[in-house]
Structure 1
Amino acid sequence: MDLKLAGKTALVTGSSSGIGAAIALALAREGVAVVVHGRHRQRAEAVVAAIEGAGGTAALCLGDLAVPGQAEAMVHEARAAFGTIDILVNNVGGSSDVSHPDWFGASLDEWADNYGSNTLAAVRLIKAFVPAMRDKSWGRVIQISSRNAISPHHQFAAYGAAKAALNNLTLSLSKSLEGSGVTANAIMPGLIYTPQLDEWFAMTARQLGSEDPNVGRAHILRNVVKQTVHRTGMPDDIAFVTCMLASPLNDFMTGTIFRVDGGATPTL
């Protein structure tokens, strides 16, 4: 199916690896010129090279979006790359928590750091790029949230609260963009595979008396994450939904928060 994305431009934050890289590659395959963003030049350059090697168009910008000066420089670089940004994917973030045995273990600095990297970083870029989208009567804003926003763990309370704020601002943003041609939606991934999970799978398997990491993986999916889909989520699962939300064909959906979690969230 042609998603009618050819000729559009996008900025995908945190796209030097993982979910962000998958989103950048998927949009590029649809004909989108993509600004790849990260904090590590070599990894970001590898994503740009992969896009260009497949015949796509990409540019690079670097910077830590939690640091105002670096964020401003990154905005300038992204604007300079293609002249305009049609699609903003706020993927950067993640947990800066340390795992704690109870809710009260997290310091106030952890709460502030999580809010800064997950919520304020998105607000900065929305303020930077969305007014121009509104002026030309077309644009897409897509936040990458987390199922922790609505089904939080006590060990990572600050992270879940920051993602809940991201969901909330997505809905308020959609209302402020009424009739503008710009939509705002969010995606809540569940457990998405990265190589960092391998040690968790192996350790869980050993606790169960097995040396097979797949035993640990299956136990985690069924008994810890409690998915109803018995496979690990992959970055491409999130990239697929992102492309659908970015499409010009999808102009009747805004202010919506999507769960893409293998059925793990036990709520409506």
Structure 2
Amino acid sequence: MELNLTGRRALVTGSSSGLGEAIARLLAQEGADVVVHGRDEARTRAVADKIGAKAVAIGDLATDDGAAKVAEEAGEVDVLVNNAGAYAHRGWADATPEDWAWTYEVNVVSAVRMIRLLVPGMRERGWGRVIQIGGGLSGQPTATLPQYNATLAARHNLAVSLARELKDTGVTSNVVAPGAILVDAVQRYLTDLAPERGWGENWETIELNAAQDFVPNDIGRFGRPEEIAGAVAYLSSPYGDYVSGATLRVDGGTIRSVI
């Protein structure tokens, strides 16, 4: 399917590795002029070269100056994918108020900065896409990572509020909510954990058993970055013109919900 992204400029935050890299790659393949973003210049430029992107933007979105620098380097953006984020492995017992504040700054306020910097231009041009990368933990949180779960909920909430704000402007706001995605770091972690958990020795068996233990779903495996990228590409295209304020779950049925 031709997604008609030629001539559109897309900024994917946090695209120097993992899920963001996969999103940037697919948008570039579909003809978009992609801006690869990261904090490490060498790694970011390496990804840009690998996927054929012509532009990079380097900066820390958790600061006003860093976000402004990224927006300036990105230029006039038609598609903003707020993917960048991070979290520390903390639970209720050891997640301090400082951990909560830092996680909110990195995962939520960073996205707000980019929206404030780039969406006014979309409104003026009468077309644009704003896509938050959220997750099922926003609505069905676990006991672990409470500070991270809360920021996912904030991302989902702000996306709907923004959609209401952008009524009749030609700019849409949506969320893509991945399940557990098999990036390189996750595969290494599961492989290292397999002997202790008795998951097997070959990767096919390890993935099947790890999925049952960690993320029971209707497909029986972890998701692939390319599957999330496909959802982002759809929402970025003209085929997504009538979709706004929505959450597109790509999680193999991990989240059980009728709405």
Quickly name the TM-score band, shorter chain normalised. Answer: over 0.9
Pairing of 1:109-120 with structure 2 (within 5 A): 109-120=98-109
Q: Indicate the SS of the match to 2:70.
A: helix
Q: Indicate the SS of the match to 2:184.
A: coil
> 1:48 deviation in Å?
1.1
Counterpart residue number, 2:64: 68
Cα distance in 2 between the residues matched to 1:240 and 1:63: 26
Give the unaligned 5+ runs of structure 2: none
Counterpart residue number, 1:129: 118
Q: Indicate the SS of the match to 1:120.
A: helix
Counterpart residue number, 2:230: 240
Residue 164 of structure 1 pairs with residue 153 of structure 2: yes
Counterpart residue number, 1:34: 34
Cα distance in 1 between the residues matched to 2:9 and 2:48: 14
Residue 139 of structure 1 contacts residue 183 of structure 1 at CA under 8 Å; is this kept in 2?
yes
> 1:105 deviation in Å?
2.6
Residue 190 of structure 1 pairs with residue 179 of structure 2: yes
Residue 138 of structure 2 contacts residue 151 of structure 2 at CA under 8 Å; is this kept in 1?
yes
Paired residue type of 1:37: H
Match of 1:144 among 122, 127, 133: 133
> 1:88 deviation in Å?
0.5
Does the C-alpha gap of structure 1 residues 48 and 221 become closer, same or farther in structure 2, counting only changes over 3 Å? same
Per-residue Cα deviation, 1:184-208 (whole angstroms, up to 9, x for no partner): 0011111111222234323442124
Normalised TM-score (structure 1): 0.91
Cα distance in 1 between the residues matched to 2:64 and 2:5: 31
The number of equivalent residue pairs is 257
Residue 256 of structure 1 pairs with residue 254 of structure 2: no
Cα distance in 1 between the residues matched to 2:64 and 2:8: 27
Paired residue type of 2:216: K
Match of 1:225 among 215, 222, 237: 215
- Kindly report the root-mean-square deviation, in angstroms, between the aligned alpha carbons of the 2 structures: 1.5
Counterpart residue number, 1:58: 54
Paired residue type of 1:92: A
Residue 18 of structure 2 contacts residue 184 of structure 2 at CA under 8 Å; is this kept in 1?
no
Cα distance in 1 between the residues matched to 2:170 and 2:127: 5
Normalised TM-score (structure 2): 0.94
Residue 25 of structure 1 pairs with residue 25 of structure 2: yes
Per-residue Cα deviation, 1:199-225 (whole angstroms, up to 9, x for no partner): 432344212444445433222211321
Cα distance in 2 between the residues matched to 1:19 and 1:89: 11
Residue 190 of structure 1 contacts residue 260 of structure 1 at CA under 8 Å; is this kept in 2?
yes
Counterpart residue number, 1:90: 82
Residue 178 of structure 1 pairs with residue 178 of structure 2: no
Residue 201 of structure 1 contacts residue 214 of structure 1 at CA under 8 Å; is this kept in 2?
no
Cα distance in 2 between the residues matched to 1:236 and 1:185: 18
Q: Indicate the SS of the match to 1:105.
A: coil
Counterpart residue number, 2:4: 4
Cα distance in 2 between the residues matched to 1:75 and 1:15: 15
